[in-house]
Amino acid sequence: MSGDGDGGASVRRLADWDADRLRALAEEYGTPLYVDDLARVRANHARLAAAFPDAEVLFAVKANAGAHVLRALRDAGAGAECASAGELARALDAGFDPADVHYTAVNPPAEDLDYAVSVAAAHPALTVTAGARDTIERLDERGFSGRFCLRVHPGVGAGHSESVSTGKDAKFGVPADEAVEVLADADSRGFDVVGVHAHAGSGIANDQLDEHARVVATLANVARATATDLDLEFVDVGGGFGVPYHEDEAPLDLDAVAERTRDALDGVDATLTIEPGRYLVADAGVLLTEVNTVKRVSESVIAGADTGMTTLVRPAMYGSYHPIRSLVADDRPTEEVSVVGPVCESTDVLGEARDLPAPERGDLLAVGNAGAYGVEMASQYNSRPRPAVVALDGGESGVARRRETLADVTHAEDTADTYQEP
């Protein structure tokens, strides 16, 4: 793990992290602990920006909304794509210029829309993206007349699993064959129509570039069909750029993605916008957890760790693979180990049948690629406080998010009145 985020390397594997540094961080801050390396975030942004030199890059805040990450990406020159009022507030707090911020609503609650419309009134440079006729009407009802982008349902999906494919038979966007009419409607309501958007799904791999290209081509067709009536500023082809989770998986061929994107745009006269989340932060983060229980059940070895699905839900939720490394001296014999958490669910597993040094109580484990959709999807299920997050930057480290306490778990409840009043 070098201080420059491993420079231009297109992937940082879990094995590349400095074990001594991770052990020292666990010692200093305790476990479970998320570690986000900001140098790596910046390196990922620089590589992406180099592959898409003419594109506007918006960071999909949902992947990791920590202020440390947002500030690092803002300073690197990225904008922000926000899926909720909360993400919008966090992006503005982190100092993003509203001109570089898109609020991309999916059937937004009324409070979200009220907030977004008020932000748009105060900051006319903000772009609001909607993917339903209802959302357009609800914006109109609130007097919105700002920069507007239409999310299109392209009819083509992609991603690491069916559950994260958004482009086909899903709730997102207006069907592509209705897009021209809906854009004209938004225009007639006085919205400043500036763009079209689509997102195929999350975790697009090298063998899904055809799907990606079809999504881009669909948007390009919509843009061309409206060109005489509307002066579209940008075509936003979404995010979804995948990263390798398995140790032997090849990195995404970013140049190929960029080339297929340019080809599919086929000369459309508008800025290309991309909104990656995972690609910028996944391999910049690890989760550190300590083994507190070792069991040998039949032929299996189970290492019970001090955290699991409440901290990193992806394995339980999608069956996702995250690399796991034991940070103990590697002179122990290797065994096939399942790493499980402390939650009362059988799916509370961080990794199954991994070749690891025979586990012992007190071992420190690192779970890789935890920088995206890790702490963001953490919960307090089983009344478990969420872990701390530490930011690394070169030789420096500091708490980016403090460890929650039991008081944080109960603070929204007025315990004295519980069960007293209806």
Ligand X SMILES: Cc1ncc(COP(=O)(O)O)c(C=O)c1O
Ligand Y SMILES: N[C@@H](CCCC[NH3+])C(=O)O
Choose, by CB under 6 A, the member of 240, 308, 351, 374 that binds ligand X.
Answer: 240
Q: Quick one: 199 or 354, whose CB is closer to ligand X?
A: 199
Choose, by CB under 6 A, the member of 245, 312, 373, 378 that binds ligand Y.
Answer: 373
314 touches ligand Y by CB under 6 A: yes
13 touches ligand Y by CB under 6 A: no
Choose, by CB under 6 A, the member of 44, 64, 104, 221 that binds ligand X.
Answer: 104
Structure tokens at 148: 């507007």
**Could you tell me the smallest distance in angstroms from the CB atom of residue 276 to ligand X?**
4
Residue 314 interacts, among ligand Y, ligand X, none and using kind-specific CB cut-offs from 5 to 8 Å, with ligand Y
164 touches ligand Y by CB under 6 A: yes
What SS3 string covers 79-103? Answer: EEEECCHHHHHHHHHCCCCHHHEEE
310 touches ligand Y by CB under 6 A: no
52 touches ligand X by CB under 6 A: no
* Segment interacting with ligand X, rule: CB under 6 A, options 48-56, 210-218, 233-241, 264-272: 233-241
**Catalytic-role residue among 110, 297, 329, 344:** 344
323 touches ligand X by CB under 6 A: no
Q: Is 224 annotated as a binding residue?
A: no
In DSSP terms, which residues pair with 303 in a beta bridge?
A: 294, 339
218 touches ligand X by CB under 6 A: no
Q: Is 318 annotated as a binding residue?
A: yes
Residues between 26 and 65 with contacts to ligand Y, criterion CB under 6 A: 62
What SS3 string covers the chain? Answer: CCCCCCCCCCCCCHHHCCHHHHHHHHHHHCCCEEEEEHHHHHHHHHHHHHHCCCCEEEEEHHHCCCHHHHHHHHHHCCEEEECCHHHHHHHHHCCCCHHHEEEECCCCCHHHHHHHHHHHHHCCCCEEEECCHHHHHHHHHCCCCCEEEEEEECCCCCCCCHHHECCCCCCCCEEHHHHHHHHHHHHHCCCEEEEEECCCECCECHHHHHHHHHHHHHHHHHHHHHCCCCCCCEEECCCCECCCCCCCCCCCCHHHHHHHHHHHHCCCCCEEEECCCHHHHHHHEEEEEEEEEEEEECCEEEEEECCCCCCCCHHHHHCCCCCEEECCCCCCCEEEEEEECCCCCCCCEEEEEEEEECCCCCCEEEECCCCCCCHHHCCCHHHCCCCEEEEEECCEEEEEECCCCHHHHHCCCCHHHCCCCC
Q: Quick one: 147 or 278, whose CB is closer to ligand X?
A: 278
CA distances from 116 to 171, 189, 190, 392 (A): 21, 18, 17, 32
307 touches ligand X by CB under 6 A: no
**Could you tell me the smallest distance in angstroms from the CB atom of residue 93 to ligand X?**
20
151 touches ligand Y by CB under 6 A: no
10 touches ligand X by CB under 6 A: no
* Segment interacting with ligand X, rule: CB under 6 A, options 29-37, 44-52, 232-240, 390-398: 232-240
Residue 81 interacts, among ligand Y, ligand X, none and using kind-specific CB cut-offs from 5 to 8 Å, with ligand X
- Active site includes 344? yes
Q: Quick one: 78 or 164, whose CB is closer to ligand Y?
A: 164
202 touches ligand Y by CB under 6 A: yes
Amino acid at 195: G
Choose, by CB under 6 A, the member of 26, 51, 63, 149 that binds ligand X.
Answer: 63
Q: Is 240 annotated as a binding residue?
A: yes
Structure tokens at 363: 């071992």
Contacting positions for ligand X (CB under 6 A) = 60, 63, 81, 104, 166, 199, 202-203, 238-241, 275-279
The binding site comprises 240, 275-278, 314, 318, 345, 373
The binding site for pyridoxal 5'-phosphate comprises 240, 275-278, 373
Catalytic residue numbers read: 344
The binding site for substrate comprises 278, 314, 318, 345, 373
Contacting positions for ligand Y (CB under 6 A) = 62, 164, 202-203, 314, 373
